[in-house]
């Protein structure tokens, strides 16, 4: 097939212990999935049905962060309140729709540490106007992701420390066991809205402690059992 211009290439994320990369298909995100974070954003943390938004899947947005490397990302335009959100990223390895909860774990390929970078002022403005969040969430360099670790290596991840530091100072610290909707529950629910396919990524939500970064700041994201990420903000 011929195209009028060169189509975008598939983003590949490195996988621990493997020479092949994981090809990214779609990027889904779960909103307000830790009670403490819901409270800090001014919402009741009752267990309402999960809601979702998406990020672009291109190489300008999904940024692979190799182990033992600090990757630089530019401070985005049109914002004065650029926030970090540390999250467990779940990689889907088997297609499915209307997936029963008891079978959801079978569709997981592996896990990684991710940052859901957010133009918070633009997100809040759109929210107040009843408009979509895209300009606050789906912009260039908004999804740095570390090395994937296969489920065969980690087992199903239902409990693990999750934390983020900025310039060495702890800003976020929790445990993924505090997710309002577990990973498997999220997969089951999301699969009723979209048919999931191998290559899909799910950002599972962030704990409380989100805040702003500025050029020159370095973020270090950690989830127990996974490769950490190190990301520096440049002008």
pLDDT of residue 159: 97
Which of 42, 123, 115 shows the shortest CA–CA distance to 79?
123
Give me 151's structure tokens. Answer: 């489920």
- In the numeric block, which tokens belong to residue 34? 């830790």
Q: Is the pTM above the cut of 0.85?
A: yes
Tell me the pLDDT band of 45, cut-offs 50, 70 and 90. Answer: low
155: exposed, middle or buried (C-beta count within 10 Å: 0-12, 13-18, 19+)? exposed
* Residues 162, 167, 168, 172, CA torsion sign: negative
As a whole number of angstroms, the distance between CA 107 and CA 200 comes to: 10
Q: Is there a contact between 229 and 146 (Cβ–Cβ < 8 Å)? A: yes
Segment among 31-35, 83-87, 92-96, 177-181 with least mean pLDDT: 31-35
Give the span between the Cα atoms of 117 and 82, in whole angstroms. Answer: 7
Q: Which of 102, 90, 100, 93 is nearest to 33 (CA)?
A: 90
Whether the pLDDT of residue 46 is over 80: the answer is no
Asked whether residue 44 carries a pLDDT value surpassing 90, the answer given is: no
pLDDT digits (tens, 9 = 90+) for 121-136: 999 999 999 999 999 9
pLDDT in tens, 184-231: 999 999 999 999 999 999 999 999 999 999 999 999 999 999 999 999
| DSSP assignments along 75-95, one per residue | PPTT-S-EEE-EEEEEEE-S-
């Amino acid at each position: 097939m011929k195209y009028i211009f060169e189509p975008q290439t598939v983003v590949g994320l490195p996988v621990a212990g493997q020479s092949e990369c994981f090809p990214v298909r779609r990027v889904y995100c779960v909103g307000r999935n830790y009670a403490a974070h819901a409270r800090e954003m001014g919402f009741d943390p009752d267990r309402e049905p999960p809601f979702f938004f998406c990020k672009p899947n291109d190489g300008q947005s999904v940024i692979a962060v190799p182990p033992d490397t600090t990757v630089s990302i530019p401070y985005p335009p049109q914002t004065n309140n650029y926030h970090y959100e540390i999250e467990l990223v779940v990689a889907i390895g088997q297609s499915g729709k209307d997936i029963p909860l008891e079978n959801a774990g079978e569709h997981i390929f592996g896990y990684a540490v991710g940052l859901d970078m957010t133009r918070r002022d633009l997100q809040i403005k759109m929210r107040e106007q009843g408009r979509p969040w895209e300009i606050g969430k789906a912009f260039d360099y908004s999804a740095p992701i570390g090395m994937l670790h296969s489920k065969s290596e980690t087992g199903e991840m239902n409990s693990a420390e999750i934390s983020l530091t900025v310039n060495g100072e702890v800003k976020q610290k929790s445990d993924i066991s505090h997710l309002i909707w577990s990973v498997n529950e999220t997969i089951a629910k999301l699969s009723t809205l979209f048919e999931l396919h191998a290559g899909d990524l799910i950002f599972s939500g962030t704990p409380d402690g989100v805040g702003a970064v500025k050029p020159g700041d370095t973020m270090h994201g950690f989830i127990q059992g996974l490769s950490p990420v190190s990301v520096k903000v440049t002008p």
